[in-house]
Amino acid sequence: MPDQFKPPNYNSVSPYIVARHVPPIIEFLKHTFGAVELYAHKRADGGIMHAEVRIDDSVLMIGGVGDEGEPTVSNIHVYVTDVDSTYQKALSAGGSSIQAPVQKNDPDRRAGVRGPGGNNWWIATMVGPALR
């Protein structure tokens, strides 16, 4: 096996969401999570075929299907330093609330937001002692 089997600073597993229109998702991620756009490959019609963004230590890949393909809806969990402020950022970026920040029977304070493309973003901050 080669020493360099994946790009530098990429995890072995990266979520891959598929959307009809990629730019609104990238803007939502930048505003909500401080995502950094790493790469965008455009189709002949100018739409984005494939994009990659970094959120903290993770890379999220986004495939664009344009008007002919079928998008998929995903649930993505993201740990953040402040769930309450991140939840507010998500709402101000056009997300709709699934669940306001709340702590239940685990160490995480968690919220849920539906973003552009219909993906569900579960946002959490560990506020209690880790269970694992």
pLDDT for res 83? 98
- The model's pLDDT over 55-85, given as tens digits with 9 standing for 90+, comes to 999 999 999 997 778 999 999 999 999 999 9
pLDDT for res 1? 58
Domain segments of the chain: what residues? 16-126
pLDDT for res 41? 97
Residues 6+ apart with CB under 8 A from 43: 49, 64, 66
Calpha distance 82→102 (Å, rounded): 12
Contact 96/52 with Cβ under 8 angstroms? Answer: no
Calpha distance 24→15 (Å, rounded): 18
pLDDT for res 73? 93
Q: How many CA atoms lie within 13 A of 85 on its CB side?
A: 6
Other Cβ atoms less than 10 A from the Cβ of 38: the count is 15
Helices (H), 15-126: 23-33, 83-92
Is residue 21 helix, strand or coil?
coil
Distance (Å) of CA 23 to CA 9, 12, 64, 86, 121: 23, 25, 9, 20, 17
pTM of the model: 0.92
Positions of the chain with pLDDT under 70: 1-2, 132
Tell me the CATH architecture of domain 16-126: Roll (3.10)
pLDDT for res 130? 76
